[in-house]
Amino acid sequence: MDRRQFTLATLALGAAPAMARADEVAALSAWFLKNPARSAENRVRDPFRHPAESLRFWGLAPGMTVVEIEPSGGYWTEILAPYLRATSGHYVAAVSGDPAEFKTRYADTSKFGDIEVVPFTAQSGPLVSNGTANLVLTARNFHNWMWQPGLVDKYLADFHAAVAPQAILAVEEHRADPRPMVPQARDGYVSTAYLVNAVEGRGFTLEARSEINANPKDTKDYPFGVWTLPPTRRTHAKDQPTPADFDPKKYEAIGESDRMTLRFRRA
């Protein structure tokens, strides 16, 4: 990234969300799109994930300590870790799988910096030292936690302990609205009211919501839940054949899910 792009990118992230300028967001998008640390599999998802707009809305700024919850395929890792390396920040990945495997995948410090990997399970301890994170990001995770009693409360308590006062909890989640949420969000779609009430009940305040990741094509009535859509593209139930009338092109045309994009502050 050239010096002008980097300057505009840091300005775009560091400025107040209401002060966005088209050239700043464009420069930031160019950095994310061209960054050689990113995989082809993740780049093709940019039209649905809106990385520059989402991170700017959430309030990412140079030099932050950012904790990402369950990075999975590394979509945000490949964006956040290089950015924080370049701005003297710190990236922490909270993973439920093998921490050593994740660390190895992103071991190239020239691209990703010296990332920190911590366990994230029902039994895990603090994510970071209390009050030291500037931003905790959880993308598309709440629906998984709702299947185990007490897990949402446990994780929200972890997030609250991790972030400094007035720091940010950034949330992206498949949105059930306007239809009712099915029990435990078993199809992957979560009610906005449920999520906001749960988070605010743990000492956060909803500061803003955005339609950056809305998708009006998403009808939320698929045979295999939200996982019928990209990027999962599920075609059959476990241990069952694909239905004869299943048309994957139909779901490909819809794209990724309709999602709520929320920014909370710790009180």
- On whether residue 223 sits in a domain, the answer given is no
Here the CATH number for the domain that contains residue 158 is 3.40.50.150
Task: Count CB atoms within 10 A of the CB of residue 186.
Answer: 12
Identify the sign of the CA torsion 111, 116, 117, 122: negative
- Residue 130 belongs to domain spanning: 3-215+258-266
pLDDT of residue 18: 40
- On whether residue 161 sits in a domain, the answer given is yes
- On whether residue 111 sits in a domain, the answer given is yes
Mean pLDDT (10-residue bins), the chain, 267 residues = 52 45 62 80 95 91 95 94 91 95 94 95 97 98 96 98 98 98 97 98 98 98 98 96 96 98 96
- On whether residue 190 sits in a domain, the answer given is yes
194 contacts 218 by C-beta, under 8 angstroms = no
pLDDT of residue 19: 37
- On whether residue 115 sits in a domain, the answer given is yes
Can you tell me which residue has the tokens 């139909």?
Answer: 250
Query: CB-based burial of residue 10 (10 Å sphere; 0-12 exposed, 13-18 middle, 19+ buried)?
Result: buried
Give the chain's domain count: 1
Compute the distance between CA of residue 152 and CA of residue 143 in angstroms, rounded to an integer: 9
Compute the distance between CA of residue 214 and CA of residue 207 in angstroms, rounded to an integer: 18
- On whether residue 132 sits in a domain, the answer given is yes
- Per DSSP, the three-state class of 261 is strand
Whole-model pTM? 0.91
- On whether residue 252 sits in a domain, the answer given is no
- On whether residue 117 sits in a domain, the answer given is yes
